[in-house]
Structure 1
Amino acid sequence: MVADINSKIGNDRRGYEDMMREFGLGERNERGQRKLEFCQGKPLCITNNYFYHREQHRYTWTHPDGIHKNCNDYILINKKWRTLVMGMKVMRGADFGTSHKLLLAKIRIKFRTDRGKNQELVRYNVDEVKAEEVKTALKVRVGGRLEPLTGLKTTEKKWCQGRNIIRQEAESILVGHSRTLFTTVHRLTRGWKNNGIALSDADGNKLSATGDVEKIWKTHYEEQLKGSVRRVTEDDYPELRGELWNIQEIPDILIEELKKAVGAMSSGKAPEINGIPKELLGADGEMVERWLCDLCNDIEDG
């Protein structure tokens, strides 16, 4: 809130310690008292008085005679945002045809990020995917809905619609929570325990402390990798000169390559932001594999 009501706040902060500080100018008048009462009821802070400046940098108004000067202009801010104001100063050099001076406030803005608090985390009982009847149901229902998406040209639309289809069908088929045994064991054990593994240093001493073990591994890898890491150049493979190094087009990703990549993923892990666990990608059938392969090739083609 920016205000110019010809009021004088002054530097007496008794009774208004939570609204202003002592870096004011002059004596308070009746309008200044009314402004303080107004700010107290909102509640607002007077930012002009929060930062120390020399007197010639505090006044915002100069009388035409050039002698009388005062602080009549203020920037007010809600108390809960007070810490966002980093500084306040008067722009004395700005000349725009008035007896008032410009006020400049430096404000730090904090942007809130959407952390997805309103999105409910859906847990699938992925153990049921091992059953043949569940696999068949997923293949039929997911595959039938994914087939029309293969003709979409927009990669983003193809991905969003396919992801939603897989999640919707999984929610309707896979009911309950997964990894019951792991949950029970974790609840009973209550955390990690040291297994007592020790390593030997260069002198043959057994060390088991965490810091000592880290140093041993660091020394080991530094010795193993010393002088062995360098950039591969064309001269290392003369038999491929003119072939490998002059490839103009990248071949499409094959379904077999995609299957191998999905198979290498760890099972029993929490899904990423897409909400699809690894077990569903391997159990939904050939249509899901084709859909994923098309997506990867579309992204690769740009």
Structure 2
Amino acid sequence: MKILSGDFNAKVGREHIFKPTTGNESLHEISNDNGVRGVNFATSKNLTVKSTMFPHRNIRKFTWTSPDGKIHNQIDHILIDRRRHSSVLDVRSFRAADCDTDHYLVVENVRESLAVSKQTTHRVHMERFNVKKVNEVEGKEQYRVEISNRFAALEHLDTEVDVNKAWETIRENIKMSAKESLGYYKPKKHKPWFDEGCTKLLDQRKQAKLQCLQDPSELSGDNLNNIRRETSRHFRNKKREYLKDKIDELAMNSKNKNITDLHRGINDFKRGYQPSSNLVKDENGDLLADSHNILNRWRNYFSQLLNVHRVSDVRHTEIHTAGLLIPDPTPFEVESAIAKLKQYKSPGCDQIPAELIQAGSKILYVQRTTSNYFYLA
């Protein structure tokens, strides 16, 4: 389904020659130059102008109002593929939607029957612990006390117990300790500077706009303009304060040699908000949205990436296997392995980041027996 929508700056009229493409419910009688060009474009691409095909009152048709509030035009349109034009149920503008602009919101109702294959995949929601508290003295000490109390019950753990059951016990104790002392990570907002004061000003501006629509007098217009200016000024000041605090935070991280947080803050400024997307590109650079095509693309990519040896090379390659008897790791080896864990990495299926193991390392490998070293490893 191809849908083209936006500000065309085109008045589409009700000329008889344009009716197959535009219908007979436009706000304007005669098309302007941009309107004729828009209709010709729609005809050449086998599209229809659905925004001028539904009967509504005039206040539901116009999409733009002049600054003096006396001129109303329908210049925002929605075009759709002629084959799917029956999927559009209604198109109208909503004046009450407040975006502080001279254009009104145009809403399209679309209904489409799609054939979707039933999939039994289940998405696993993983909650992340707030590992930033581990870097703080108070949070780290609280976590150590919590994990020490929980592991005190494992002092007399049977050394002959199954290794998987022992690891499940240790894993659950680590997760419960982190939950009680650190809590979960709260995702940051897109606009952290947007607080309750901004919300109240937005509500006031919305009420003033509704009042101006219901009573378009000079007094209500002046009131709306005053609230608009106050809201814009407040937003600018809040954003400037937020940017100043972020710059001071970056300077403090640079001074304290906190390189990780410094680079994270710089990347937030450079990249800004980036919505998550599952789309990938094929060999030609075109986007793929279908799950089957995406899966094939990843399969081909990894097959080309990993199959770097020829078949003849693989056949003559000698494979060295480890010995059958491997001694248990010593306490020093476990301690060294924990110290070498990389931080700021996503946890695996056990949902335990490396920071939690390193923060409780003294409890995890000092108070345990040799068998428990093996369980932890």
| TM-score class normalised by the smaller sequence | 0.3 to 0.5
**Which structure has more RCO (C-alpha within 8 Å, separation ≥ 6)?**
1
Structure with the higher fraction of residues in helix conformation: 2
TM-score, length-scaled by structure 2: 0.29
Q: TM-score, normalised by structure 1?
A: 0.36
